[in-house]
């Protein structure tokens, strides 16, 4: 009996030690997961802000290029305010994203598309543009729409390359900020464009939660009611002054809230910073299922340790596969999502530096009208069927991804010449126009395609994207339903 009791005690001691070791191991494991989740969520947020800042600069560059193209035509006329030129700026306002346009004389008199005349000689952006520089104005309040607008200005040269005036177009930065971040984290964060002095140029978010709004001073608001730690506020202020990108974690002064992430990135214009603020809980929301499993793991392990270990191994394996598949693909079309398309493209370009590849951006023409006329459900069907059409047109080894709402990207690997990509794009264009979608009730869709090639037009995804996007923009401007190459 004593021997059995001793044996039981030994077994109990071994099991107790084993259980204690595993419980400690689980606690360490969960702690590491928490740290990893925190780091990953920060990286995700930082990368989003970096990408959106680059996208914002690309959008502004495209608008500048468009205005420069128009000034070449305006500069050919004998008189800056010729009827042809005034009709042109009216057309710009009507058919582009510019909220208003104006021809500006060297004395500062601005002749707007709506007939108004105003002198801008005292404005900083006028002085810069009339000296031959393209410029971006300080924020202006629109009395009509109540929005925050900036003016993009480019000089107008005559045939002797002398500045004879300027072309200005107003742009809604609030709408631009909203467009960049509206799909991130279910809209729980707030996006801001902030000047070096802390003035909030554009703000999009819950003003009652963040206690911030347009024209507030971000630094002063932080010190009063947003961030507890003054050192963090000082760090943000210093980074803004030096134009450094960063992500800081700060405890909020708002009672009952957790920590917040503040990620920011220089815009590359006027010293402005693009900032995105988000509660830590929202940033880590996609990982919340891990916490739900922790308690179950501990309880079940005490009941049956061996089965629990096997279950954890099996469950983790299954979850990792599901998460990997979910993280890489677009749920609607089954193609790669934007992040995976970018990652695979960069990997391909770094591994095959001496081979030529084509990058195609495909955009469904007038897709908004499809949603407006037939509904978003039919719009989703159109995207699904177009995704299948892409799979049936390109090779199995090519990279196919959905990189925007109605925007798709294709990497054609190892092509000999750009003509091959043009031929394949033309084939897809014809297939798309002939493809019947019953839900559209006899109407067909069309697409516009922009093409860039590696390594001629770039050696990374972002460079190829910018070049192909410019070609796509040209295809849209040329009447849509066509293919355009990027020419450097």
**313 pLDDT higher than 60:** no
Q: Over range 133-149, report the average pLDDT.
A: 69
Torsion of CA 460, 466, 468, 469, to 10 degrees: 150
User: Is the CB of residue 337 less than 8 Å from the CB of residue 328?
Assistant: yes
pLDDT band at 251 (very low <50, low <70, confident <90, very high): confident
- Please report the pLDDT score of residue 25 as a whole number: 73
Strands (E), 161-245: 163-172, 190-194, 200-204
pLDDT of residue 143: 47
Q: Report the 10 Å Cβ neighbour count for 488.
A: 8
Both tokens assigned to 288: 């919340």
SS3 107: coil
The SS3 call for residue 194 is strand
CA dist 214 and 198 (Å) reads 11
pLDDT value of residue 477: 92
Is 247's pLDDT higher than 70?
Answer: yes
Q: Which of 127, 246, 262 is nearest to 192 (CA)?
A: 262
Which among 65-69, 295-299, 349-353 has the top mean pLDDT? 65-69
The pLDDT, as a whole number, for residue 1 is 45
pLDDT given at position 432:
92
DSSP state of 78: S
- Cα pseudo-dihedral 43, 44, 50, 54, rounded to 10: 150
Residues, the chain: 488
Three-state secondary structure call for residue 364 = strand
Joined together, the tokens standing for residue 53 give 């800042």
Token duo for residue 388: 């299948």
| Share above pLDDT 90 across residues of the chain, in percent, rounded to a whole number | 28
What tokens does 399 get?
């990279």
DSSP class of 147 = -
Render pLDDT for 70-128 as a digit per residue (tens, 0 to 9). 888 888 888 888 889 888 888 888 888 788 899 999 999 999 988 899 998 888 888 98
pLDDT of residue 393: 92
Give the model's pLDDT for residue 235: 85
The secondary structure of residue 139, as a DSSP letter, is P
Task: Give 28-52 as a DSSP string.
Answer: HHHHHHHHHHHHHHHHHHHHHHHHH
Half-sphere exposure of 225 (CA within 13 A, CB side): 11
Average pLDDT of the chain to the nearest whole number: 82
Kindly report which listed range (137-141, 264-268, 359-363) carries the lowest average pLDDT score. 137-141
161 to each of 27, 132, 158, 361, how far by Cα in Å? 71, 10, 5, 36
Cα 397 off chain centre by: 27
Sorted by sequence, the CB contacts under 8 Å of residue 205 that are 6+ apart come out as 189, 190, 191, 192, 212, 277
For the chain, what percent of residues have pLDDT higher than 70? 82
pTM of the model: 0.47
pLDDT at position 2 over 50: no
pLDDT surpasses 70 at 175: no
- Among positive and negative, which fits the CA dihedral 230, 234, 235, 239? positive
Give residue for tokens 């004879």. Answer: 164
Q: What is the pLDDT of residue 141?
A: 63
68: nearest Cα among 145, 135, 156 = 156
**Separation CA 357–CA 456 (nearest Å):** 9
Alpha helices per DSSP H over 304-416: 305-328, 338-351, 367-374, 376-393
Q: Are 92 and 101 in contact (CB under 8 A)?
A: yes
416-451 pLDDT tens trace: 888 899 999 999 999 999 988 888 888 889 999 999
**Can you tell me the distance from the alpha carbon of 380 to that of 393, in angstroms, rounded to the nearest whole number?**
20
Find, among 51, 26, 62, the residue nearest to 468 by Cα.
62
Output the CA–CA distances (angstroms, integers) from residue 408 to 326, 333, 386, 400, in the order listed: 18, 10, 10, 8
The DSSP code for 354 is: T
């Amino acid at each position: 009996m004593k021997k059995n009791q001793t044996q039981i005690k030994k077994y109990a001691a071994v099991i107790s030690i084993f259980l204690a070791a595993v419980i400690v191991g689980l606690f360490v494991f969960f702690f590491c997961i928490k740290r990893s989740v925190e780091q990953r969520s920060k990286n995700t947020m930082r990368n989003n802000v970096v990408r959106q800042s680059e996208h914002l600069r690309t959008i502004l560059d495209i608008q500048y290029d468009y205005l420069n193209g128009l000034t070449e035509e305006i500069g050919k006329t004998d008189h800056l305010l010729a009827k042809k030129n005034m009709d042109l700026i009216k057309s710009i306002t009507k058919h582009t994203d510019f909220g208003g346009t104006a021809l500006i004389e060297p004395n500062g008199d601005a002749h707007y598309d709506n007939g108004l005349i105003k002198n801008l000689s005292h404005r900083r952006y006028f002085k810069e543009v009339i000296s031959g520089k393209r410029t971006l104005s300080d924020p202006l309040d629109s009395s009509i729409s109540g929005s925050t607008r900036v003016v993009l200005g480019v000089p107008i040269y005559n045939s002797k390359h002398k500045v004879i005036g300027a072309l200005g177009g107003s742009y809604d930065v609030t709408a631009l900020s909203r467009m960049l971040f509206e799909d991130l984290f279910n809209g729980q964060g707030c996006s801001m464009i902030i000047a070096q002095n802390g003035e909030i140029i554009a703000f999009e978010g819950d003003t009652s939660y963040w206690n911030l709004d347009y024209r507030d001073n971000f630094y002063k608001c932080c010190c009063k009611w947003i961030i507890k730690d003054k050192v963090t506020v000082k760090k943000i202020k210093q980074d803004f002054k030096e134009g450094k990108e960063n992500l800081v974690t700060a405890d909020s002064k708002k009672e009952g809230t957790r920590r917040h992430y503040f990620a920011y990135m220089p815009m590359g214009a006027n010293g402005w910073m693009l900032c995105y603020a988000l509660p830590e809980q929202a940033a880590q929301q996609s990982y919340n299922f891990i916490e739900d499993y922790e308690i179950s793991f501990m309880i079940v392990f005490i009941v049956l340790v061996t089965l629990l270990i096997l279950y954890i191994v099996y469950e983790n394996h299954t979850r990792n596969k599901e998460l990997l598949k979910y993280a890489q693909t677009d749920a609607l079309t089954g193609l790669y999502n934007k992040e995976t398309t970018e990652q695979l493209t960069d990997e391909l370009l770094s591994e095959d530096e001496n081979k030529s590849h084509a990058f195609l951006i495909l955009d469904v023409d007038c897709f908004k009208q499809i949603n407006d006329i037939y509904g978003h459900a039919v719009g989703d069907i159109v995207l699904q069927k177009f995704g299948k059409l892409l799979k049936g047109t390109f090779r199995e080894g090519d990279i196919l991804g959905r990189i925007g709402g109605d925007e798709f990207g294709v990497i054609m690997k190892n092509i000999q010449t750009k003509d091959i990509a043009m031929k394949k794009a033309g084939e897809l264009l014809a297939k798309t126009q002939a493809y019947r979608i019953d839900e559209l009730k006899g109407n067909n869709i069309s697409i516009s395609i922009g093409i860039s090639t590696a390594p001629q037009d770039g050696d990374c995804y972002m460079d190829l994207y910018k070049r192909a996007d410019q070609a796509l923009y040209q295809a849209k401007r040329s009447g849509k339903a066509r293919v355009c190459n990027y020419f450097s």
